[in-house]
Structure 1
Amino acid sequence: MTGWRIIFMGTPEFACPTLQVLIDRGENLLAVVTQPDRPKGRGQKLMPPPVKEVAQRHGIPVYQPLKVRDPAFIEEILRLEPDVIVVVAFGQILPKALLEIPPHGCINVHASLLPRYRGAAPLNWCIVNGESETGVTTMLMDVGLDTGPMLLSRATPIDENENITALHDRMSVMGAQLLAETLDGLKTASIPPREQDNAASCYAPMLKKEDGLIDWSRDARAIHNQVRGLSVWPGAYTFMDGHVLKIYRTRVGNGSGQPGTVLRAAKGAFEIACLAGSIIIEELQTAGKKRLDAASFLAGYPVSEGSLLGTETSGGETP
């Protein structure tokens, strides 16, 4: 326990382990700041962010400003007099007026080995780009996008078949542990901040639906990485018979043929040719239907070997 007055800012599941670590350590949590409740599901019922649910279970005051630049919200944070603000996947850029409030700064837990993969979706893009290693970094925030001085970093390998869900869960726990070490190190002044090398940086932009569109003229490994990096959202997809086909789990094969050609579609094996090698589809979904393993899908949706998967629909269907 540091004894500092702490405000926590975060929103999704990724931020929950860090908040829980602060609670378990007995830190003096003044408040939790998270995004407003959002409508979800078919009924569009307002649902609280995961971080809000954790805070409420432990009786921690929750603030949900529409915009953190709101002068009234900044005045409220000033009134609380935090020593430090911990930020994990909050979802809004903090203004200078807010960053300057805590005397020990705003500490961000970022899911990459900075300065690599600054931006909104570092874990997704490191998988899509075929990285073999990633990690988490704690840093002191400034007005730039993930450009502040680094405090601690921890690396971890990425298995060639690990998808975004598994990596996300591992990194959320690793980030929580690193934040605890960071607070202890700052309390004893044993962690000197290190400036980032801007020349070594790269950007991980917010994901778009079109990022999931599969180009079968790429090599099999690149498509496999795309599938596992986007399996939560937007999902990798192609088109078959004028309909969207979402692909959630694959492995790399050694088949060959015209890119996009169905090489096998029998006995549970669904294999598609790529520019180099092939993709064996293990889990997929057509629009409006359940996600199925390949064997179940092929049992109810016969596919002809030699048919072509493509990037165009005949009926204008969108994913």
Structure 2
Amino acid sequence: MSRHARAVVFAYHDVGVRCLKVLLEAGVEIGLVVTHQDAPHENIWFESVAETAALYGLPCITPEDPNTEAVLERCRQVQPDLIFSFYYRQMLKEPLLALARLGAYNMHGSLLPKYRGRVPINWAVLHGEHETGATLHLMHPKPDCGPIVDQMAVPILRDDTAHQVFNKVVVAAEMVLMRALPALLAGTAVLRPQDLHQGAYFGGRRPEDGRLPVDAGTQALHNLVRAVAPPYPGAFLDILDPVSRQPRRLTLLRTHILAPAGAGPCQAALAIGCATTHDASGLSLVLYAADGGQLQVLACTLDSHPWDASQWKQHWGAQPLNALAG
């Protein structure tokens, strides 16, 4: 593997850090790292590309727009053989992509062509997929549609949260890049076109998209909880406090399916209450789905404060409360 190959790396997040380290391990000369300033109101739970670049003495910039003439000129001065985008959040336009003699490549967190676009891991969990993965592909001006260099699948277990799946995808991305690099640097990589009819684009998600639908089935409710569990904002429902007569917000952090759809009578609407269970405590919060299934609530907050079944029973008794329509 050549130690004279030069790259410009656009990167952010854990995937950005790990893939940047793969390039360094492989002896690729990193002429420039481009990353983001951390947003002041974002929950920064992931590693810093900027700190990693500083640790290894790599030149690093954080432009608001990577497609300006100033950034283009900085990249042009590197004379890159390769350009990489590892979880960088903005699209790179054709003038940047054309600078790379051996091509410009992106690492995407799904098994393309499935789940093109934003937050693909969250969408995969939300839709109840049993696997996802990491895909390295040639970049085009349109997102996530270029031919595939390599990809690797990881399993999604039935109670996995999106964060747990993301940690698997980080390792898959690292492995995909490591095994693809020799052919990329030699200019001999064999790429295969995507059949875009086998997948679709998905947009970003907002905290308010975490509201649990009152008519959703058991599996769909469990999938939504898993898809937006911490460090993401969480799935939630509002209830009317029978004491204060004020709406209160319950945020469900972890759930487990106690009874599948059809195990009990169908509900007119989503409800939650405390019930006797077979775990160590003997008492749990239980979510009663419209299709007759039940979810055990393993962790939740009430108006952002930790809450459990004993507190529920002390304040409101054992009577289930219906979720308010959003």
In the superposition, the TM-score normalised over structure 1's length comes to 0.89
**Residue number in structure 2 paired with 1:247:** 252
1:11-51 Cα shifts (integer Å, max 9, x gaps): 12232111122223332111210012432479xxx999711
The range that moved more, 5-14 or 298-307, is: 298-307
Q: Distance in 1 between matches of 2:83 and 2:165?
A: 26
Match of 1:18 in 2: 19
Alpha carbons of structure 1 residues 189 and 296: separation in structure 2 relative to 1, 3 Å: farther
Distance 1:48 1:268 in 2: 35
Amino acid in the other structure paired with 2:119:
A
Question: Which of 43, 61, 67 is the aligned partner of 2:59?
Answer: 61
> In structure 1, what is the Cα distance between the partners aligned to 2:8 and 2:310?
49
Gaps of 5+ in 1: 313-319
Distance 1:301 1:19, change over 3 A: farther
Deviates more, 1:197-206 or 1:112-121: 197-206
Residues 26 and 260 of structure 1: CA distance in aligned 2, closer, same or farther (over 3 Å): same
Look up the match of 1:147: 145
Judged with a 3 Å threshold, the aligned counterparts in structure 2 of structure 1 residues 21 and 298 are, in CA distance, closer, same or farther, namely: farther
2:271 paired with 1:261: yes
Structure 1 204/47 Cα, relative in aligned 2: closer, same or farther at 3 Å?
closer
1:77 paired to 2:75: yes
Q: Secondary structure, in 3 states, of the residue corresponding to 2:111?
A: coil
- Offset at residue 103 of structure 1 (A): 0.7
Letter in 1 for 2:24: I
Residue deviations 1:121-167, cap 9 Å, x none? 10000000000111111001011111111110111221011101111
Instruction: Evaluate the alpha carbon distance shift between residue 154 and residue 142 of structure 1 in structure 2; reply closer, same or farther with a 3 A threshold.
Output: same
Structure 2 residues not aligned, in runs of 5+? 241-246, 277-281
In the other structure, the counterpart of 2:319 is 305
Query: What is the SS of the residue equivalent to 1:39?
Result: coil
Aligned CA RMSD, in angstroms, stands at 2.3
Q: Quote the offset at 1:299 in angstroms.
A: 6.9
Structure 2 CA distance for aligned equivalents of residues 252 and 234 of structure 1: 21
1:203 aligns with 2:196: no
Match of 1:278 among 251, 270, 294: 294
Q: Using a 3 Å threshold, how does the CA distance of structure 1 residues 71 and 220 change in structure 2: closer, same or farther?
A: same
Counterparts of residues 83-122 of structure 1 (less than 5 Å): 83-122=81-120
Q: Describe the SS at the equivalent of 2:322.
A: coil
Given residue 235 of structure 1, which amino acid in structure 2 is its aligned partner? G
Q: In the aligned structure 1, how far is the partner of 2:214 from the partner of 2:163?
A: 24
What is the CA distance between 1:174 and its match in structure 2? 1.1
Structure-2-length-normalised TM-score: 0.87
3-state SS, counterpart of residue 165 of structure 1:
helix
Number of aligned residues: 307
Q: CA 1:298–1:149 in 2, change beyond 3 Å: closer, same or farther?
A: same
Distance in 2 (alpha carbons) for counterparts of 1:48 and 1:172: 11
- The secondary structure found in structure 1 opposite 2:143 is coil
Q: Structure 1: how far apart are the matches of 2:313 and 2:56? A: 49
